[in-house]
Structure 1
Amino acid sequence: MDEITLVTGANKGIGREIAGRLAALGHTVVIGARSAELGEKAAAELGTDSVVLDVTDPASVAAAASHLEERYGRLDVLVNNAAISRPPGTDLSHQSPSSADLGTLRAIFETNFFGVVTVTNTLLPLLRRSAAPRIVNVSSSAASLARNADPATELPVSAGYTPSKTALTALTLQYARELRPDGILVNAVCPGYCATDLNGHSGYRTPAQGAVSAVRMATVPADGPTGTFVDDEGPVPW
């Protein structure tokens, strides 16, 4: 039986690599993208389906869920990949804790945290129809509390992107605890510092490398792990 998989924010970058790799493994992949044109273009190139999906717009998420239900009847894998590091027209200086712009912080959390809640909760009924449902949340080791608490850390100071991913990792644990009795596996992954639009292509890893941990967790068996935080080398410090 084909695995029906939705990857949010998948028309470019790491999301596109995740979608392409899962499609190559035989998954029926649906690319979620805010732009219909860009989503359809990526889908045509990868041989996948696409759907308009803005994680910050509940109506858009509901419409995407309706598309999935009508076309496939269920969802086996949800990869919450869509994220922003800052709103358009702002820079990282707006995220210094002592001088943070609240509008900037709210916009980041709206996508990186609340968007995941909106998408996940809307799609849970379809995931419950799967024989082996899995949710993969793309987080970041830059949001590790242990790493940020280290006096020698070289991580940048951020009141926006970093806490939004810390919150996402914590949220992953809460979903894993709640959904464990239902057999829904929920894990967080770190792609590493990849060169994407998220960071102005300053990362030293490729999107293909960044996709590895998400693809691995998207393909674990029904008795696989849940409530974990890993990268492609193993567990990541919380």
Structure 2
Amino acid sequence: YLKCTLTPGDVLYIPRGHWHYAVALDQPSLHLTLGIHCQTGVDFLDWLVSELRENEAWRESLPLRFDAEPLDQSIDNLIQNLKQYLTNSDIQERYNRYLDGLVKPLARYSLPAQAGFNIFPNGVETRFSNPKFKRLKISQLPDHNGYKIIVSGKEIILGGVTESLVENLFTRETFTGSDVMTWLPGFDWEVDVVPLLTHLVTEGIIFVDTRV
């Protein structure tokens, strides 16, 4: 057990599972306890079980225990099925995607733009912003004709766009519609860019910057 006196500004690390309490001494005191929720191996197994439920072999009834041999054989088959599944599937990538889906965006819902109204108050010069501290994953589509974006737990497909757009759109703190036009040479503002930006705004991926 640990007993200590903390002064203003001190930080004390307490390992998970340890009880603690604080008592003020000669004057009022405020102490804050912060906890970080981390995934455990058990959480991973829970997710894995939910994935296996999609496989018919794992939903079949096991043989009744009139004779041990059929049950033993079924268990052996499931073990081999599990080994093959763990070896041949992209399980790490899919679990990472699942964890990304649990992430809640820090930015709040933004009205009226996110409801689809007044998204372009300044037309092509409207300024947009990216929320801070967002988790972003970009991958090219199999046909090389666009990109799949996973951000803040949401998945969107951007078909037919340039690499320049993807590199700039999600990494810059702010940008304008004019900037997007330079990243998409040959695209039409009304026909191509406005629907694209509207989709990103209403999905909460980017926001209309109302500071300007």
TM-score for the superposition, normalised by structure 1: 0.22
TM-score for the superposition, normalised by structure 2: 0.23
User: As a proportion of its length, which structure holds more helix?
Assistant: 1
